[in-house]
Amino acid sequence: MLRDVERVFTTGRGRRTKRIEALAGLTLRVQPGEVVAVVGPSGCGKTTLLELVCGLQAPDAGAVEAAPAVLMPQRDLLLPWMDALDNAGLARRVAGASREEARVAARPLFAAFGLEGFEDQRPAALSGGMRQRVAFLRTLLAGKPVLCLDEPFGALDALTRAEMQAWLAGALATDPRTTLLVTHDVEEALLLADRVAVLSSRPGRVVAELEVPAPRPRRATNSALVALREQAMEALWAG
């Protein structure tokens, strides 16, 4: 999917120009239907990686060969003037569907993903966890083969986050998608992913790749996960 990707940002002008290498020689392959988590220290270019996959940025070197991907950003970015159902169906409307068509497409997902009864609520009336669920449904309804999740639960409190991780694991079990999940939370990565890629600090490149063979549903206390967690942390420290 990503081969020897390099991405450099420059800031300032003239003699004050600074080159910031966000990613250097990064190679990452994701199989169809696989959930791959990318963990790394802050500022290692995780968000850049997702934007490359979604086609929002172009690499300075190397190649990105990805099926069409849709982004689920860190913040839910629900439109405050639309109700939950309209927000979930936004991608359909953007693609030219009528409001009715988009609502018809979104409605069954609300029941399937534990949001029944909240269809007509504006985002302001929803809890953080529910807003994030609506944002995830919006991502699913974009109908793209690849989902790019950028720290989807980073803004939630610990309890809600645990609840949402279980929910997302269930959602991906019901509706398997090729998923690239970026997070700084190793535990979250191990709970959700088939494979975890550990990035070094800037410039980011893959320093370790760990298969997560544990059966689902997983618990953080699973001994295999605990051992993998140790490995991932070591790779993070070393990187």
Partner 1 sequence: MGRLSAAAAVVVLLGAWELYARAGGIDELVLPAPSAIGETLWTDRGLLAENFVVTATEIAGGIALALVLGCALAVALHVSRPVRGALYPLLVASQAIPIVILAPLLVIWLGFGVLPKLAIIALVCFFPVVVTTLDGLRAVDPDQRKLLRSMDASRTALLRFVELPAAAPAALSGARIAVAVAVVGAVFAEYAGSSKGLGHLMLQAVPQLETPRAWAAVVVLAAFSVTLFTALGALERRLTHNAGGSHS
Which three-class secondary structure state does DSSP give residue 161? helix
DSSP secondary-structure letter at 211?
E
- With CB under 8 A as the contact rule, which of the stretches 63-71, 190-198, 201-209, 229-237 interacts with partner 1? 63-71
Q: Which residues contact 197 (CB under 8 A, 6 or more apart)?
A: 28, 36, 37, 38, 39, 206, 208, 209
Query: Is residue 90 a contact point for partner 1 (CB under 8 A)?
Result: yes
**Cα(34)–Cα(176) distance, rounded to whole angstroms?**
8
Restricted to residues 39-58, the positions that interact with partner 1 (CB under 8 A) are 51, 54-56
Query: Is residue 85 a contact point for partner 1 (CB under 8 A)?
Result: no
Query: Per-residue string for binding with partner 1, 4-43, x by CB under 8 A?
Result: ----------------------------------------
AA letter at 34: E
Strand partners, 18: 11
Query: Is residue 186 a contact point for partner 1 (CB under 8 A)?
Result: no
Residue among 206, 202, 203, 196 nearest 230 (CA): 196
- The half-sphere exposure of 30 on its side-chain side, counting CA atoms within 13 A, is 29
Query: Is residue 145 a contact point for partner 1 (CB under 8 A)?
Result: no
Query: Is residue 227 a contact point for partner 1 (CB under 8 A)?
Result: no
Backbone φ and ψ for 183, nearest 5 degrees, come out as -155, 160
Cβ nearer to partner 1, comparing 94 with 173: 94
Binder of partner 1 out of 63, 67, 79, 112 (CB under 8 A):
79
Cβ nearer to partner 1, comparing 141 with 196: 141
Question: How far apart are CB 217 and partner 1 at their closest, in Å?
Answer: 29
- With CB under 8 A as the contact rule, which of the stretches 65-73, 171-179, 189-197, 221-229 interacts with partner 1? 65-73
Question: How far apart are CB 51 and partner 1 at their closest, in Å?
Answer: 7
Question: How far apart are CB 46 and partner 1 at their closest, in Å?
Answer: 15
Q: Which residues contact 186 (CB under 8 A, 6 or more apart)?
A: 39, 196, 229, 232, 233, 236
Query: Is residue 129 a contact point for partner 1 (CB under 8 A)?
Result: no
**Cα(145)–Cα(228) distance, rounded to whole angstroms?**
28
Write out the residues near partner 1 by the rule CB under 8 A: 51, 54-56, 68-71, 73-75, 77, 79-81, 90-91, 93-95, 122-125, 142, 148
